[in-house]
Structure 1
């Protein structure tokens, strides 16, 4: 395991242990709903299902099709806010 992977695992473990990961997930959910991301992705799912014929679309196909679009639709402001929160957490708990 590379040094970067180890550090990432350690940070993730601390986020989980201290409950910050769940708080960040809740913040992300709220921000995505506020900006209309959920509705946009839902509409995209419906379009994909219509295009591919709903009888022949698997969950795996749908996930593979919508994941890149879902990531691209996340506003930069939401990404920046989450990154700032993670940095603040790390600064506060610098003894990792």
Structure 2
């Protein structure tokens, strides 16, 4: 395993053990709804289905089509806030 992978796995494990991962996920959900991201992505999904036709779209196709747009639509301030919270968590729990 590479060092980066080991570090990421260690951080993820610590986030899970301390319950911080779930808190971060809830914060992300709330921020995405608040920013209108969810509505934008829902509209994009409807556009894709309308464009390709319901009978010609699988869930996998929809996920593949929508994922890049979904990631791009996440507001920068939401990304920054999550990153700050992760850094603060790591600063408090440096004994990884």
Pick the TM interval, shorter chain.
over 0.9
Alignment match, 1:88: 88
Q: Secondary structure at the match of 1:82?
A: helix
What is the aligned length?
Answer: 96
Structure 2 residue 75 is the aligned partner of structure 1 residue 75: yes
Please, what TM-score do these two structures have when normalized by structure 1? 0.99
Gaps of 5+ in 1: none
Q: Which runs of 4+ in 1 moved over 6 A?
A: none
Deviation at 1:56, TM superposition (A): 1.1
Q: Secondary structure at the match of 2:91?
A: helix
Once residues 55 and 95 of structure 1 are traced to their aligned partners in structure 2, the CA distance between those partners, rounded to angstroms, is 52
Deviations 1:23-75 (A, max 9, x none): 00000000000000000000000000000011110000000000000000000
Once residues 94 and 6 of structure 1 are traced to their aligned partners in structure 2, the CA distance between those partners, rounded to angstroms, is 15
Matches within 5 A, 1:57-72: 57-72=57-72
Q: Secondary structure at the match of 1:94?
A: coil
Alignment match, 1:9: 9
Matches within 5 A, 1:29-48: 29-48=29-48
Gaps of 5+ in 2: none
